[in-house]
């Protein structure tokens, strides 16, 4: 895991150079297709990437995006009523039975089927109208890191062309250096706090929410910390009862329109006695700093790359062999 985290900057640079034109072509095809709805098909880290896709497509294009449980087709044998839709599947391996079942069902129902997969010869790629490479090179570590980051890069590149936002695509070229700089910033205060706890809350909103979901998942699988992710707004609809001085709270706050409200949430949480660690490029607010980026999308991607480095170091403090976490396999095949 440590080696693959270090590979992320080079992987992004190679991905943009090798696959950037392909991502742009798909963005243009989606613009011409003009879908009325998008269905995402994914599990685990890939479903967190799908939530990032949902945020970008809904906010920038106004197209509703729904994550549909793959068991709809694989277990219940049902298909969706979809017209002028896109089925977008995301997977590192492309091997899971239920992911393939729902994606094929959506395709048979008339949806344009797109897969974003790190295994170009996988079943999922073969079951798609458009098969896109994640381009993360072979990923051997059990916890997904570079495949998740490169999934976000691919999504951002496609959406940039779909919306005609050239600045967004250009910002991806600066990501490798941004991630390298983030690795050099000190997050030791959060490592120490998390090493002494059994559970944590990870909050985010806007572009920060999918990052919070992935960060919580990583704490579970690498350090056995019962971490839960919530929207910085949703947390007040019940989960706030979990806030205690013994349970650290990490707020993922990229600098977009949601950041003001998210930071206000951090202050309310702190007032309840919790230890709060804000991930931000605003040096006045951040306990866990990241470098300034030209937009919140690039900033959010750099945030999760830096969080991976924290998670890998934390696993050692928690006595976990991060490359062999219990009960997990690299290729997860569910039905």
- Dihedral of alpha carbons 9, 229, 43, 163, sign: negative
Number of Cβ within a 10 Å radius of residue 163: 16
The encoded tokens of residue 215 equal: 């960060």
330 tagged catalytic: yes
Interatomic CA distance for residues 318 and 321, integer angstroms: 9
The CA-atom distances, in angstroms, between 289 and each of 46, 226, 271 are 26, 24, 22
Q: At which residue do the structure tokens 């051997």 appear?
A: 140
Torsion angle, alpha carbons of 324, 326, 327, 331, to 10: -20
Number of Cβ within a 10 Å radius of residue 260: 12
Residues with a known catalytic role: 330
């Amino acid at each position: 895991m440590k080696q693959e985290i270090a590979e992320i900057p080079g992987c992004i640079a190679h991905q943009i150079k090798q696959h950037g034109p392909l991502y742009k072509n798909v963005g243009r095809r989606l613009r011409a297709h003009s879908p009325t709805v998008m269905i995402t098909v994914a599990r685990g880290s890939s479903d967190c990437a799908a939530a990032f896709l949902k945020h970008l497509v809904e906010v920038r294009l106004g197209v509703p995006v729904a994550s549909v449980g793959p068991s709809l087709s694989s277990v219940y044998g049902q298909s969706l009523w979809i017209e002028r839709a896109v089925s977008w599947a995301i997977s590192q391996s492309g091997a899971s039975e239920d992911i393939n079942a729902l994606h094929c069902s959506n395709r048979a129902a008339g949806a344009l089927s797109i897969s974003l997969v790190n295994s170009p010869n996988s079943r999922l790629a073969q079951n798609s109208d458009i098969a896109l490479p994640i381009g993360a090179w072979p990923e051997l570590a059990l916890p997904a890191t570079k495949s998740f980051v490169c999934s976000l890069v691919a999504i951002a590149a496609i959406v940039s062309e779909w919306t005609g936002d050239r600045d967004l695509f250009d910002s991806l070229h600066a990501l490798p250096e941004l991630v390298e700089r983030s690795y050099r910033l000190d997050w030791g205060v959060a490592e120490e706090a998390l090493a002494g706890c059994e559970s944590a809350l990870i909050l985010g909103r806007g572009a920060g929410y999918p990052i919070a979901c992935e960060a919580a998942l990583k704490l579970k699988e690498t350090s056995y910390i019962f971490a839960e992710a919530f929207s910085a707004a949703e947390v007040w609809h019940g989960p706030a009862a979990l806030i205690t001085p013994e349970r650290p709270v990490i707020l993922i706050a990229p600098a977009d329109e949601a950041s003001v409200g998210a930071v206000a949430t951090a202050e309310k949480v702190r007032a309840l006695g919790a230890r709060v660690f804000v991930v931000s490029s605003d040096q006045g607010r951040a306990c866990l700093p990241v470098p300034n980026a030209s937009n919140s999308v690039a900033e959010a991607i750099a945030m999760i790359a830096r969080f991976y480095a924290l998670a890998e170091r934390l696993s050692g403090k928690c006595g976990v062999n991060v490359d062999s976490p219990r009960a997990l396999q690299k290729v997860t095949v569910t039905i």
